């Protein structure tokens, strides 16, 4: 039997989502670009899904572009805006253009600066690293002991060259939620585009992009009970960006490649359910998480809860078991059918301590004693009681060894 407490790594597809997808995996297999009947119905299904995704975050459906997941959405957002900026400065710095002849200093500013944080997901950090090799200048903001960025430091980091700020909505390891509305306000005031990686936040926090002032947002299907390999990028209507995938004209020329029809339909359904269930979902996973933390704190000495308790994803518990090797504990728990994570799923096979835990000030020893438990809609209190009991047993065993 599996006891799954790793809902930030991925989630189980909901039966309603699978049901909605099934026709598009079987008889409704048309290519959405085809003009005949099953092609047209495929296109219509994508349009309906687009509406549902837009409805979850309160944007226009034409502001949603389907992608192959969170990583692709992040790459599209950053590279899409960066390459558009580069195209502009290449034109401006071409000596033959009239703009330079006019000696208009404002136009001479090379907009090549991006601000992000040290605790972003690798999808953002590695994209930034690759942009650094292409004449872009990146500032990686520090975070405090809870993983929060400092708004004053963000403001101080802004230069005339800054064209993009990308700060994650909520962190995948420690669950800390960043001050998104304030960041968006500052970015708007300085005329800078604001992108947020909301892969972990979506479905766990109500998000209204218009109210929050977000310009671009990445989301991924498999974190909200849709399949893996499908995601979306929201881009505010009047923002121009380049397609980084080259090929066909799908997604209004912004994402080449035949659409993942069934995946998109599944994502649409998952977004619809996330909107309907949001209140229940938050109450349920927060209840389980709070009970877990309360019991673990009572029953196990020498633990440290990482991340902000005030500004935190409802289902996230990130705990350092001081003096215990987290990989050993994870494997002991695995023997009992328990799934949890020693770092984010993407780097849990790496020997180096997590960059997020390092950024919040944990030394390597402490970082390597840390496990993440993330609760989901399908978890029950009985399962959480089993988890607590098994952690107690395994922790005692490992302490003796």
Residue ranges in contact with ligand PLP by CB under 6 A: 69-71, 74, 121, 123, 168, 172, 197, 199-200, 220, 222, 231, 344-346
Of 356 and 391, which has the nearer Cβ to ligand PLP? 356
List the strands of the sheet with 216-220, edge to edge: 64-67, 231-235, 216-220, 193-197, 162-166, 113-117, 137-141
Minimal distance in Å, beta carbon 147 to ligand PLP? Answer: 12
Q: 56: which 2 tokens?
A: 């979850």
- For residue 346, indicate whether it is catalytic: yes
d(C-alpha 61, C-alpha 81), whole Å: 20
d(C-alpha 76, C-alpha 68), whole Å: 10
Of 219 and 324, which has the nearer Cβ to ligand PLP? 219
3-state secondary structure at position 64:
strand
d(C-alpha 329, C-alpha 313), whole Å: 24
d(C-alpha 338, C-alpha 386), whole Å: 9
Minimal distance in Å, beta carbon 125 to ligand PLP? Answer: 10
Of 72 and 395, which has the nearer Cβ to ligand PLP? 72
Of 69 and 203, which has the nearer Cβ to ligand PLP? 69
Minimal distance in Å, beta carbon 204 to ligand PLP? Answer: 12
Minimal distance in Å, beta carbon 316 to ligand PLP? Answer: 11
Of 172 and 318, which has the nearer Cβ to ligand PLP? 172
Minimal distance in Å, beta carbon 67 to ligand PLP? Answer: 9
Question: What's 181's DSSP letter?
Answer: H
- Name the pairing type of β-strands 303-305 and 231-235: unpaired
Helices (H), 26-178: 37-57, 70-92, 98-101, 105-108, 122-132, 151-157
The residue written with tokens 């208009």 in the block is 104
- Contact between 209 and 180 under an 8 Å Cβ cutoff? The reply is no
d(C-alpha 289, C-alpha 112), whole Å: 42
Of 30 and 70, which has the nearer Cβ to ligand PLP? 70
Question: What's 389's DSSP letter?
Answer: H
If 0-12 CB within 10 Å is exposed, 13-18 middle and 19+ buried, where does residue 336 land? middle
Minimal distance in Å, beta carbon 86 to ligand PLP? Answer: 24
Marked catalytic residue, from 271, 339, 340, 346: 346
| Shortest-Cβ-distance residue relative to ligand PLP | 70
Active-site residue numbers? 346
């Amino acid at each position: 039997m599996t006891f799954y407490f790793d809902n930030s790594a991925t989630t189980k597809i909901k039966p309603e989502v699978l049901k909605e997808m099934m026709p598009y995996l079987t008889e409704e297999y048309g290519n959405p670009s085809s003009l005949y009947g099953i092609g047209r119905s495929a296109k219509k299904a994508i349009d309906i899904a687009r509406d549902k995704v837009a409805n979850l975050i309160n944007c226009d459906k034409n502001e949603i572009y389907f992608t192959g997941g969170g990583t692709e959405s992040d790459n599209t957002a950053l590279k899409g805006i960066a390459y558009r900026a580069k195209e502009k400065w290449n034109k401006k710095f071409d000596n033959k253009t009239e703009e330079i002849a006019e000696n208009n200093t404002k136009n001479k500013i090379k907009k090549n600066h991006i601000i992000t944080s040290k605790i972003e997901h690798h999808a953002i950090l590695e994209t930034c690293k690759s942009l650094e090799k292409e004449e872009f200048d990146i500032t990686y903001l520090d975070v405090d002991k809870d993983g929060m960025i400092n708004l004053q430091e963000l403001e101080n980091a802004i230069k005339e060259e800054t064209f993009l700020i990308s700060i994650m909505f909520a962190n995948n390891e420690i669950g800390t939620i960043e001050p998104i509305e304030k960041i968006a306000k500052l970015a708007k005031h300085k005329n800078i585009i604001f992108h947020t990686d909301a892969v972990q936040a979506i479905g766990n926090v109500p998000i209204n992009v218009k109210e929050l002032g977000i310009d671009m947002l990445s989301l991924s299907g498999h974190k909200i009970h849709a399949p893996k390999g499908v995601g979306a990028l929201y881009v505010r209507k009047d923002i121009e960006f380049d397609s980084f995938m080259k090929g066909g004209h799908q997604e209004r020329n912004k994402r080449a490649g035949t659409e993942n029809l069934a995946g998109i339909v599944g994502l649409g359904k998952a977004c619809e359910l996330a909107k309907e269930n949001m209140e229940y979902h938050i109450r349920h996973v927060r209840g389980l998480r709070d009970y877990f933390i309360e019991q673990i704190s009572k029953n196990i000495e020498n633990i440290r809860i990482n991340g902000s308790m005030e500004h935190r994803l409802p289902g996230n518990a990130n705990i350092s078991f001081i003096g215990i090797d987290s990989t050993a504990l994870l494997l002991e728990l695995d023997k009992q059918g328990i799934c949890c994570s020693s770092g984010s799923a993407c780097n849990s096979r790496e020997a180096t301590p997590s960059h997020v835990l390092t950024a919040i000030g944990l030394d390597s020893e402490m970082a390597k004693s840390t496990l993440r438990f993330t609760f989901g809609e399908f978890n029950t209190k009985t399962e959480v009681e089993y988890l607590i009991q098994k952690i107690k047993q395994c922790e005692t065993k490992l302490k003796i060894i």
